[in-house]
């Protein structure tokens, strides 16, 4: 089994999860709304769990060429030293945050709760699309399970953020 394409996809996913974690950490510090602070802090912790899952999968694929069940990969990922991974450069279409771009640059107006929520919604939508693409391209059923797990997680984040947007604004979110 050629694991190189899978490893490359996982490396991009790890980088995206780390960028998402940084965004949500920063957003939680800047928001005024108590709910927004709490949900962004929770989303940052979720992105950390997703990173652990991906690190576990990367380690398992590198060592044995096998995918792990998502729960096992998450536990295994807790022990992986991320600094041992030599991340390759990926095409910009696979990155949710282009390299060298600060999180604050991604929001096109002064920080406020709605700007952070809207950016988070779009980030989650892009993550869902990316993981669906990887699930569709994966030939290994275990890989499909891991990417579908991540899709379900990101869909939950998306729904939380859209619900909050609609609660705060009283209007349906449109992108």
CATH class as words, domain 4-169: mainly alpha
pLDDT in tens, 13-39: 998 899 889 888 988 888 887 888 888
Q: Quote the tokens at residue 6.
A: 């899978």
CA distances from 108 to 14, 17, 29, 32, 173 (A): 25, 21, 18, 18, 17
pLDDT digits (tens, 9 = 90+) for 67-118: 999 999 999 999 998 888 877 655 434 556 555 545 555 544 345 788 888 8
pTM of the model as a whole? 0.80
Contact at 8 Å (CB) between 153 and 74? Answer: no
Spatial separation of the C-alpha atoms in residues 66 and 174, rounded to whole Å:
41
DSSP-derived letter for residue 100 is: T
């Amino acid at each position: 089994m050629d694991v190189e394409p899978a490893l490359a996809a996982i490396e991009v996913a790890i980088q995206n999860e780390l960028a998402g974690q940084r965004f949500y950490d920063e957003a939680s510090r800047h928001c005024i709304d108590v709910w927004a602070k709490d949900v962004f802090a929770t989303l940052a912790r979720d992105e950390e769990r997703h990173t652990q899952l991906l690190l576990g999968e990367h380690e398992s694929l590198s060592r044995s060429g096998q995918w792990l069940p998502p729960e096992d990969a998450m536990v295994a990922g807790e022990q992986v030293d991320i600094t041992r991974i030599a991340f390759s450069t990926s095409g910009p279409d696979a990155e949710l945050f282009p390299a060298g771009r600060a999180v604050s640059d991604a929001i096109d107006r002064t920080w406020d709760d709605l700007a952070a929520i809207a950016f988070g919604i779009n980030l989650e939508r892009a993550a869902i699309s990316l993981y669906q693409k990887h699930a569709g391209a994966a030939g290994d059923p275990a890989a499909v399970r891991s990417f579908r797990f991540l899709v379900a997680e990101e869909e939950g984040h998306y729904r939380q953020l859209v619900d909050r947007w609609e609660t705060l604004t009283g209007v349906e979110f449109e992108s």
